[in-house]
Structure 1
């Protein structure tokens, strides 16, 4: 007989209920709701994520098999499949989107001042990237991406030092990455590391004017006029370090100030990489390390897809799935922010962690 508190209950204790109620009231989520409130809905969704459930029916059957323990899990009403399906169709997904932003802010605050793995610089470093989530076209025809495939796209702005996302957005697979860059507000003094898919000189100049710095891989078609070169000072990977300006009239008009071009060569593969940045004083080797740290974003996306069930949507129809894609893709983000909070010594009260939670925490620690 269990004499303590269930681990799922302790995990949900880390959720700021007051902030969740604020998000619910903002969109009137509990309006005309009798029993199955937004909080009960969130508990069901979280339970499905933490226990690796694969469908709505699977979650309901699992909960009903533990009917006597539901009250101790935090549930105040029985969970039925029809009620849950109606909630998925009618509830506003922005409730969970805003709540994910709250959890991300709390996780970042918890990690401030703590030692980190990454480039040894005092500035905040963000990596911006996107990743496709491939779906079955026969099941989700409204997410058509190519003639024979379907997909939605995850966009994220990741804090490289601590592995906590600053921004998270889900769009259809055809949305260009540049559309997300135009929505961002840039933090003065921070570094933004991006791949060449975000090469837009108007947006790069917006980063320059905001007082932030960027490191981006240049396209092969870039036309650059060198004004003078900086000394390499014995940096073996660096081929050249140049200061200059853009040649094409439209590009020079969009970015009228000086630009720094760094060309590096991988000693193992011999592959050359050309980087652009607006930071004129940092060593070229550090700029190269900043760009290489962008690989943590790929590890972050892989971790989400492998361990947080991002591909399992609990619904198939378009009217339900449009809301479910926003809600369900932000829920792993909530779970991802639970992990650094639960790793804190202040809130770690897990006497007997189940296999699933230990596995998530161990894999999370390996990525940050």
Structure 2
């Protein structure tokens, strides 16, 4: 425990921005002699980045890594202690850690003006994560317990996207109920899928000059006011000004309805209050909604979201924020290094070079591949494509 980890290591560079390692919560750590808040948060963030499967794997990792022991001033800890600590951590503290880091990243990207001719997009959606059958506190239906992470993903330009706001809830909370925490009056255009159809919300956003693009159902009915001209030879089939009536009220307002097809001939209908854009731009905005699906897929695949270390309510909320802090750290490292590598490539190197020097880490990230060949290419079989499925016969194989 006497060794000193140099200040220029990767783990120091990452966690300095959080200022968390030596943190002792005046309320939660009162009288604690082992595993203070800062130590626990450091262990848990590292565990999420490394996709640890269990609390036991966290404790074994600590026992096997002397550098980690020196770094957090802790040589061993029992899995049950981490279990209890995860539940007792302050959710407000973790939430603030995440928000502070996101704000620092946002400050670095302050000059980003969004997509050409469109501006910044804020894509709103949620992802659902299941909990075991015993977690009745998150009951949703007879065969489902779970939580949701409602997310706002900001597209700051063609290459930069940032999950700058999240709200966690039980799965029974509808997507529409979370919008009041995610939709704010700013210069960004908000993008929604069909899970957010609510004409009263559209009416309120239009009154507040909050621009949005939202998909509606194929059978949604509107009163057509005016048919717009649109580009020929485009995927857009219709561009009309419509009158929208809010159900069960006397509220009436105007929106723009655009119908188009994608490359696979799937039809879409979206409404918007962006009157200044071409119909093809509106179609492009909704196409970019897929970025948030890619984001959800990324955190689930690479940060082990579905592995709960403790399924009690406060522990679940805390782990969600630890996951998001781990994601934001990857964004921060990518920003600091200025690399053009993907976030996944940054994370892979991060896990290998925790206790190496920061300069070594940058050199590895920027190292050019020596491989000149693109590898062996598969070629399609000659002849006409098969129309009927190939028939197989039962195969008898004995492996004595």
Residue 113 of structure 1, aligned match among 111, 114, 121: 111
Q: Deviation of residue 175 (structure 1)?
A: 1.2
Residue 329 of structure 2, aligned match among 323, 326, 338: 338
- Equivalent residues of 1:182, 1:203 under 8 A apart: no
Larger Rg belongs to: 2
| 1:315 aligned counterpart, secondary structure | coil
Higher helix content, 1 or 2: 1
TM-score, with normalisation over the residues of structure 1?
Answer: 0.82
- Equivalent residues of 2:183, 2:190 under 8 A apart: no
Distance 1:346-1:50 versus aligned 2 partners, 3 A rule: closer
1:119-151 superposed Cα distances (whole Å, 9 cap, x missing partner): 4235221000011113442x5454343433332
| 1:192 aligned counterpart, secondary structure | strand
Residue 127 of structure 1, aligned match among 97, 115, 123: 123
User: Highest relative contact order (Cα 8 Å, sep 6+), 1 or 2?
Assistant: 1
- Equivalent residues of 2:4, 2:71 under 8 A apart: no
Distance 1:337-1:125 versus aligned 2 partners, 3 A rule: same
Q: Which residue is equivalent to 1:14?
A: 17
| 2:335 aligned counterpart, secondary structure | coil
- Equivalent residues of 1:9, 1:74 under 8 A apart: no
Residue 312 of structure 1, aligned match among 307, 315, 320: 307
Q: Deviation of residue 344 (structure 1)?
A: 2.8
Residue 242 of structure 2, aligned match among 214, 221, 244: 244
- Equivalent residues of 2:5, 2:70 under 8 A apart: no
Distance 1:12-1:271 versus aligned 2 partners, 3 A rule: same
Q: Which residue is equivalent to 2:98?
A: 100
Distance 1:221-1:354 versus aligned 2 partners, 3 A rule: closer
1:321-358 superposed Cα distances (whole Å, 9 cap, x missing partner): 2111111111121111111211234699xxxx994527
Does residue 1:43 correspond to 2:42, yes or no?
yes
| 1:183 aligned counterpart, secondary structure | helix
1:282-330 superposed Cα distances (whole Å, 9 cap, x missing partner): 11100110000000000000001000111111124xxxx2111111111
Q: Deviation of residue 218 (structure 1)?
A: 1.0
Q: Aligned partners of 1:310, 1:346: CA distance in 2, in Å?
A: 26
Q: Deviation of residue 6 (structure 1)?
A: 4.7
- Equivalent residues of 2:238, 2:258 under 8 A apart: yes
Residue 162 of structure 2, aligned match among 161, 164, 173: 164
Q: Aligned partners of 1:115, 1:186: CA distance in 2, in Å?
A: 18
Distance 1:354-1:205 versus aligned 2 partners, 3 A rule: closer
Q: Which residue is equivalent to 1:322?
A: 313
Q: Which residue is equivalent to 2:225?
A: 227
Q: Which residue is equivalent to 1:62?
A: 61
1:189-224 superposed Cα distances (whole Å, 9 cap, x missing partner): 210000111111221222223222000001234221
| 1:311 aligned counterpart, secondary structure | coil
- Equivalent residues of 2:200, 2:246 under 8 A apart: no
Q: Aligned partners of 1:213, 1:333: CA distance in 2, in Å?
A: 27
Distance 1:106-1:29 versus aligned 2 partners, 3 A rule: farther
- Equivalent residues of 1:194, 1:294 under 8 A apart: yes
Distance 1:163-1:29 versus aligned 2 partners, 3 A rule: farther
Q: Aligned partners of 2:149, 2:347: CA distance in 1, in Å?
A: 29
Task: After TM superposition, list the pairs within 5 Å mapping 1:193-208 onto structure 2.
Answer: 193-208=191-206
**Contiguous gaps of at least 5 residues in structure 1:** 362-368
Distance 1:246-1:62 versus aligned 2 partners, 3 A rule: same
TM-score, with normalisation over the residues of structure 2?
Answer: 0.76
Q: CA RMSD in A?
A: 3.1
Q: Aligned partners of 1:297, 1:265: CA distance in 2, in Å?
A: 21
- Equivalent residues of 1:188, 1:210 under 8 A apart: no
Moved more, 275-284 or 43-52: 43-52
- Equivalent residues of 1:6, 1:73 under 8 A apart: no
Does residue 1:152 correspond to 2:143, yes or no?
no
Q: Aligned partners of 1:359, 1:188: CA distance in 2, in Å?
A: 40
Does residue 1:279 correspond to 2:278, yes or no?
no
Q: Which residue is equivalent to 1:366?
A: none
